[in-house]
């Protein structure tokens, strides 16, 4: 049974991290007066291919770079 629990735990960890990334991006977007869904949609329209993990890293460790991305999406 331990193997089945370990398998489920590995799948759950991926879900938890994605949720954490989305929460971080949403908080950073709110600081710049934009919504998470509009930000992601605008990134896709501008062909910016960054995953949520990297976007959350930018939001936490490089706020100036993240601010430039937000400005890019508001145009």
Write the pLDDT tens digit of every residue in 40-71.
Answer: 999 999 999 999 999 999 999 999 999 999 99
Query: pLDDT category, 75, cuts 50, 70, 90?
Result: confident
Distance CA 23, CA 19 (A): 6
pTM above 0.85, yes or no: yes
HSE, side-chain direction, 13 A CA sphere, residue 8 = 5
How far apart, in Å, do the first and last CA atoms of the chain sit?
Answer: 53
């Amino acid at each position: 049974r331990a193997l089945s629990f370990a398998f489920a735990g590995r799948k759950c960890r991926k879900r938890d991290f994605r949720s954490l990334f989305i929460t971080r991006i949403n908080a950073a977007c709110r600081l710049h007066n934009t919504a998470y869904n509009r930000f992601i949609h605008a990134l896709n329209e501008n062909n910016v291919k960054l995953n949520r993990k990297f976007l959350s890293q930018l939001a936490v460790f490089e706020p100036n770079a993240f601010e430039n991305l937000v400005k890019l999406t508001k145009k």
